[in-house]
Structure 1
Amino acid sequence: MSETAFSIVPAWDEDLELILAAAVTAGDAALGYFRKTMDVRWKNEGRSPVSEADLVANDILKGRLLAARPDYGWLSEETDDDESRLTRETVFVVDPIDGTRAFIAGKDLWCVSVAVVHRGQPVAGVLYAPALSEVFQATVDGEARKNGAAIAVRDAGDVLKVAVAEDLLGKLDRPYRDRVLRIPHVPSLAYRLAMIADGRIDGTVVKRNAHDWDLAAADLILSRAGGALRSLDGQPLSYNRPIVHHGFLGAASGTALSALLAASRPLEAH
């Protein structure tokens, strides 16, 4: 995919152009491993797979981005955490392959997620899904775009298309639950948020322990498309903190968001 196929909005535009080019290069490199035999190992006490392609994409992103912005910090799923990032005003927050399990299984729903976070908030973000030939992008004061065209959340109807795990759906308040058409599992959390941003679904409930790198770029894209990602008490997320994982979250827009958050509050008891 051409690195110059997508228009760039005026603020934080140089950083957006930088991360877009790096994400496309890394994603296309990862695509070279897709549906082929590759080395896979397990981390986090055997709970999370990491493939050869994750590491190759991470190296490309880290090399290109920090060479261009040596004063920025770095936070990536595939790099040991360096707490010096906490002293940096601006940080790259990266997931080289969001949806690694899907990638390993040969499923299309994975993406490269890259955000620039400034003073705790994402200001430029890119999601590149190479197997789908899709790029989502936004800056903090520009439009959210998919393959160059502006996107927006949809107006919620009586029936809500919500991506939520089946075990969580049964714990939501019953009146809300009765309005939900459950969307089957979307293995990439970042891509799931992008599906809200471009109007394919109305919302999602995010389980505990999602990390900054899963969320930062998609959070910005969703917000610029008219939606929001919030904690269950309605608070926006802050990034590049000492602790980089989060509790239960909800994402949607307008009244759909307020209804989802209210219905999801029982989850905090579990």
Structure 2
Amino acid sequence: MPANRQNREDLELIREAAEGAGRIALSYFKQAPQIWMKTGNSPVTEADLAADKYLKDMLLTARPDYGWISEETLDERVASSRQRFFVVDPIDGTRAFIEGQDVWCVSVAVVENGRPVAGVLDCPAREEIFTALPGFGAEQNGSAIHVQAENQPFKIAGPGAFLKRLPERFLASIEHAPYVASLAYRIAMVARGDIAGTFVRPNSHDWDLAAADLILSEAGGNVLTADGKPLAYGLRNTSTGDYRHEGLVAASGLLMDNMLAVVAETAFG
């Protein structure tokens, strides 16, 4: 099957799956779901697990030859040699979900040869859905989205100490954006121009980033490592020895270059 057709069919599939998982998660929202703490003091709720089970059952039934990477189920990367796989976070922004905040989303991507080829963020509490395919742009609720124009005042998310390290010519036009718990949603905010960029602390995972990365790249920006390279998904990080990512920047244009310089020069706390 031609790649573009396969990607389109996969996008339709993961969009349907993300919407279904979003409905499941929404049924638990503000209903005091049961909560457990995982290793690293990270919470997981019964909503995360129910949405994850739905996604895995639906997606791997439809594509049994694809691999599977999810925050809430067994990581198959070491054992799997599959070139095409799903990357899933059933609820990105679990802490916000628990606190009754509406900024959380279901994140689903298809990755091939280390890069996302279809991506969806379904944000049911906000009735927003973001989608992207390589070469076809990014959309929110069916309308095209684009990064912020460079001549506008900049809102930037991330630690205030790092914003202050940007070149002085930027400082007068920079506003520190409020914290958003969902990293995927924060990157989507860059994609639709709500904010100009965000610093990403070390230790983010593939499931936090894959769908949002594609959405931002198709909206005119990028998620890049400190040395200016795109992320490779499903691969061990040779620096950390595991699958976590180091400090990143999500932005575009000249601002990206200057934010990368901050990440390259500074070790995140």
TM-score normalised to structure 2 length? 0.92
Distance 1:20 1:95 in 2: 14
Which of 123, 127, 142 is equivalent to 1:148? 142
Give the C-alpha shift of residue 170 in structure 1.
4.6
Distance 1:198 1:88 in 2: 33
- Alignment of 1:262 onto 2:261: yes
Contact 1:11 1:141 in 2 (8 A): no
Which range moved further: 240-249 or 60-69?
Answer: 240-249
Give structure 2 stretches of 5+ with no counterpart: 237-241
1:32 match: secondary structure: helix
Q: Report the counterpart of residue 208 of structure 1 in structure 2.
A: 202
Which of 75, 84, 87 is equivalent to 1:81? 75
Distance 1:75 1:31 in 2: 23
2:210 match: secondary structure: helix
Distance 1:85 1:144 in 2: 33
Give the C-alpha shift of residue 259 in structure 1.
1.8
Which of 223, 242, 257 is equivalent to 1:229? 223
Give the C-alpha shift of residue 125 in structure 1.
0.1
Residue type of the alignment partner of 2:124 = P
Which range moved further: 10-19 or 137-146?
Answer: 10-19
Residue type of the alignment partner of 1:259 = N
- Alignment of 1:23 onto 2:32: no
Contact 1:135 1:147 in 2 (8 A): yes
Contact 1:206 1:248 in 2 (8 A): yes
Distance 1:141 1:161 in 2: 27
Give structure 1 stretches of 5+ with no counterpart: 1-8
Q: Report the counterpart of residue 30 of structure 2 in structure 1.
A: 35
Distance 2:257 2:61 in 1: 42
Which range moved further: 56-65 or 250-259?
Answer: 250-259
Distance 1:108 1:66 in 2: 29
Distance 2:77 2:263 in 1: 33
User: Deviations for 1:179-206, whole angstroms, at most 9, x for unmatched residues?
Assistant: 4210010110000000011111100000
Q: Report the counterpart of residue 239 of structure 2 in structure 1.
A: none
Distance 1:170 1:91 in 2: 39
Q: What is the aligned length?
A: 261
User: Deviations for 1:53-102, whole angstroms, at most 9, x for unmatched residues?
Assistant: 00000000000000000000000000121235640010100000000000
User: Deviations for 1:153-196, whole angstroms, at most 9, x for unmatched residues?
Assistant: 12123632101123543555555445421001011000000001
Residue type of the alignment partner of 2:18 = A
Give the C-alpha shift of residue 43 in structure 1.
0.4
Which of 64, 67, 78 is equivalent to 1:70? 64
Distance 1:182 1:248 in 2: 18
Q: Report the counterpart of residue 251 of structure 1 in structure 2.
A: 250
RMSD in angstroms over aligned alpha carbons?
A: 1.8
Distance 1:11 1:86 in 2: 21
